């Protein structure tokens, strides 16, 4: 009897193992966060996926694709080529350009590298999709003047329509990122309702659960006092422009930044102007 029971347990264990393996997939996934530029630099890009269910780690069968405002011009941003180890509900997958790491603290360690940038021409209107290698779309995010298809699989959206998109062109100033505001298990309703921009304290996370905070961009350089009219040359036109503002008490003539427009500004201006240096 015991021998028979042991023989019966073997196939049962095998079936359980097969069921566990079959549950490992990649379909039940969100595009959680997108950055398509940093401080005006469109080459700093990142896309963060988030698992809506456990065991969605077989991402080697999936890819990220960008499309232009009409839904054409498909570009494979990243074709993922390996599974990730983290399998829990809410686990992330970070995909980023090689120079993204230099803009975060600590330096980001993405799971995959973006091989083809989302073009700057797609920022006014475009679409980013998470899909399998055969082109089935499981999640979609569109923005701006996008007029192409909004449809995809019903796996993560009950009617398979992810539109309407997020209003306005995709900004790349500062540290702006577009973030899905729902929970880890949440499905899509519409991009317009599900997404919002965040502009500070932007954090991306890789599959190991390590957080990377996007650095605040450095302040712009101060204006050149000597080239007062900002035409690229230091000449008499700058003197004329400075004294016009100075006589009017305009705030721009406070070149020494002491809060007043007076003789101190004249001295500071001519010191820089005579030296032909800012």
**pLDDT tens by residue, 41-70:** 999 999 999 999 999 999 999 999 999 999
Share of the chain above pLDDT 90, in %: 71
**Domains and their CATH numbers in the chain:** 25-214 (2.60.40.1260), 221-278 (no CATH)
pLDDT at residue 222, as a whole number:
65
Copy the structure tokens of residue 209: 């659960």
pLDDT at residue 110, as a whole number:
98
Hunting for tokens 């505001």 — which residue is that? 181
Assess whether pLDDT exceeds 50 at residue 8: no
Q: Peptide bond preceding 164: is omega within 30 degrees of 0, i.e. cis? A: yes
Give the model's confidence band at 226: pLDDT under 50 very low, under 70 low, under 90 confident, else very high. confident
Assess whether pLDDT exceeds 80 at residue 7: no
Q: Do 115 and 36 meet the contact criterion of CB atoms below 8 Å apart?
A: no
pLDDT at residue 24, as a whole number:
67
pLDDT at residue 171, as a whole number:
97
Assess whether pLDDT exceeds 70 at residue 221: no
Q: Do 206 and 108 meet the contact criterion of CB atoms below 8 Å apart?
A: yes
Q: Do 249 and 255 meet the contact criterion of CB atoms below 8 Å apart?
A: no
Residue-by-residue DSSP string for the chain = -HHHHHHHHHHHHHHHHHHHHHH--S-SEEEEEEE--BTTBTT--EEEEEESSSS---GGGEEEEEE-TTS-S-EEEEE--S--S--STT-EEEEE-TTSGGGEES----SEE--SPPPGGGSSEEEEEEEETT--EEEEEEEET--S--B--SSSBTTSB--S-BSS----STT-EEEE-S-TTPPBS-HHHHEEEE-SS-EEE-TT--EEEEPPPPPPPPP-SSSTT-SS--SHHHHHHHHHHHHHT-GGG-TT-SSS-SHHHHHHHHHHHHHT--
Give the model's confidence band at 230: pLDDT under 50 very low, under 70 low, under 90 confident, else very high. confident
Mean local confidence (pLDDT), 100-114: 98
Going across the sheet that includes 104-105, the strands are 104-105, 211-214, 203-205
When the pLDDT of each residue in the chain is averaged and rounded to a whole number, the result is 90
Assess whether pLDDT exceeds 60 at residue 18: no
């Amino acid at each position: 009897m015991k021998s028979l029971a042991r023989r019966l347990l073997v196939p049962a264990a095998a079936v359980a193992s097969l069921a566990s393996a079959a549950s490992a997939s990649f379909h039940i996934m969100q595009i959680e966060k997108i950055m398509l530029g940093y401080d005006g630099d469109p080459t700093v890009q990142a896309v963060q996926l988030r698992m809506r269910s456990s065991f969605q780690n077989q991402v080697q069968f999936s890819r990220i694709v960008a499309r232009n405002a009409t839904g054409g011009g498909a570009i494979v941003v990243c074709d993922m080529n390996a599974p990730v180890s983290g399998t829990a509900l809410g686990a992330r997958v970070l995909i980023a350009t090689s120079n993204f790491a230099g803009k975060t603290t600590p330096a980001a360690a993405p799971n995959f590298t973006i091989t083809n940038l989302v073009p700057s021409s797609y920022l006014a209107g475009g679409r980013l999709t998470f899909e399998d290698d055969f082109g089935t779309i499981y999640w979609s995010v569109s923005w701006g003047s996008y007029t192409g298809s909004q449809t995809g699989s019903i796996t993560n959206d009950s009617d398979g329509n992810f539109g309407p998109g997020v209003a306005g062109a995709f900004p790349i100033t500062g540290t702006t990122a577009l973030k899905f505001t729902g929970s880890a298990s949440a499905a899509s309703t519409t991009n317009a309702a599900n997404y919002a921009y965040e502009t500070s304290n932007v954090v991306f996370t890789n599959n190991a659960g390590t957080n990377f905070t996007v650095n605040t961009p450095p302040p712009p350089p101060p204006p050149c006092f000597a080239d007062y009219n900002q035409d690229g040359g230091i000449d008499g036109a700058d003197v004329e422009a400075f004294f016009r503002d100075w006589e009017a008490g305009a705030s721009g003539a406070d070149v020494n930044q002491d809060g007043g427009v007076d003789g101190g500004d004249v001295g500071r201006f001519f010191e820089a102007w005579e030296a032909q240096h800012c």
